[in-house]
Structure formats: structure tokens, C-alpha cells
Amino acid sequence: MKSLESELAEARALEEDALADAIESIGFECTRCGACCKSEEPSASKDASGEFDDRQASDGTDPHTATVFPDEIRDLQAAGDYDFRDVARPMPYGLVDGPDGPSGETFEWALQTDACGDCTFYEEDGEGVGACTVHEDRPLICETYPFSVALGGTSQPMGEAVDGEGMVRAHECEGLGRDIPRADAEDLAGALKERAIRELEEAIAVRDNYEPVDADEGDIVVHDSEGAKRVDGTPFEDAS
């Protein structure tokens, strides 16, 4: 198995022209269907170990789950004067449901969701056309969807993967197969490389900074590249 450092070196060596070629050959145009921003049917959503996640939204679907970096959370906070918890929630993987709600330790943040499990920043007009209310400040995982880079330390969006070329993978999306201008493919390629690098840098920092904490029963602790935090983004300090 390759080390995260080896994967990071590969990510930094990715050729953007080659990524753009792959994206252009696959083709993509956003149809604003909102599928990538909405909750998922239980049968289509699995957790990091491949098991189905039973933490469901009020309508029985699995909440939309998109990873977000600590600095991206701050950017979104600044964009709309939001509180931390308006923007992000602990990634559910690794948490255990108890009588007082989920608790435990997890290692990523996810974009916040509404009662229906949709991204809190997603809205539709009267004709069902979707829009991101923070589009200019959206996280890299949203900017690059439905594409990802096939490196071991990077995350893969929800959905069935469609075979791409080389390092690029395209995930199930109704916008695939549509003509994409070269300039747009190049912009996507640049964002895709940046995302791959950032995900691996984050993973390495989480690994290097991780220290077990003495959490009380019912507490949630999120370990990110900046250390252990509470659900409101403030540093977690052991009671002892």
C-alpha cells in the first residue's frame, strides 16, 4: 500500500492538460438537477466501510454528505455571516447513536444539511431548477463534481463510478456525456488537481496531529488538520 506522502507526490505531479483531456473526452454540462446537493435514497448511500448508513433525514433518506476543509468552512462563514454550525456538521462515519444522540470521534467535516437531508445551501425555483446560494464560495468537492481523481487518499463522491481515462473518474450524473468547452475542462482540471492535493495534505495533517481525547459520554469530537474540535468548531480541551 502506498503511503499518503507517495500519493501526495503523485497528486502534485498530475498534468492538468491530461486531466482536461479526460474531462473533455467524457463530457459534462451541469443540468442544475440538484441530485448532487440532495439527500440520497438509502439503497444508494454507503458509509466509508461499505456499509449502509442508518442516520436518515426526516423523510427516511440518507443526508447529503460532502466533505469540507476547515478553511472552506471559514470562507463560507464569511460569505454569509454564518455561524460555524450553519455551515458544517461532523462527518457521521465513526459516530455511534445513543439515547442522547450520536457521539464519538470522527475525522472530517461535512456540509450542513436541512431537515430533508439536502445541502443547506441548495434551493430550487418554482420549476424545480436547482441553485447553490454560495456558488462562488462552494467547496472544491462541489466545484469538481462529478469528477474525482483515483488516488488512494482522496475521497470519491457518492454514486456509481463511470470508467474514465487515466486518473480521472466520473460518477453517475445526468450531465455527463455533454459537450464541454475546452476552457471549462481546463478550469475543472485545475480544481480537480487542487482538490486531490488538498485532500491528501488534510489526511496527512490529521494523522500527524491526532491525539486521543478524554471525551465525556455523549460528546462528539472532530479531528481535522487543525486539531480536535467540538461540533461548533471550537478546540476540544479535555476536562482533565
For 76-85, the pLDDT digits (tens) are 999 998 999 9
Radius of gyration of the chain (CA): 18
pLDDT at 100: 80
Whether residue 165 is predicted with pLDDT greater than 80 in this model: the reply is no
- 41 inside domain: yes
43, part of any domain: yes
Strand partners, 97: 102
Note whether residue 92 is domain-resident: yes
Q: Look up the domain containing 174 and give its range.
A: 4-229
Residue 235 lies in a domain: no
- The H or E element that residue 89 is part of is strand 88-90
What are the two backbone dihedrals, phi and then psi, of residue 107, each rounded to the nearest 5 degrees?
-130, 15
The three-point CA angle 229-117-49 to 5° equals 65
The pLDDT assigned to 58 comes to 46
What ranges in the chain are assigned the alpha helix state H?
4-12, 16-26, 70-80, 84-87, 140-144, 182-209
- Total number of domains constituting the chain: 1
Least confident of 5-9, 47-51, 142-146, 205-209: 47-51
pLDDT at 57: 47
Instruction: State what percent of residues in the chain have pLDDT above 90.
Output: 68
pLDDT in the model for residue 73: 98
- Does residue 236 form part of some domain? no
Pairing of strands 109-111, 88-90: antiparallel
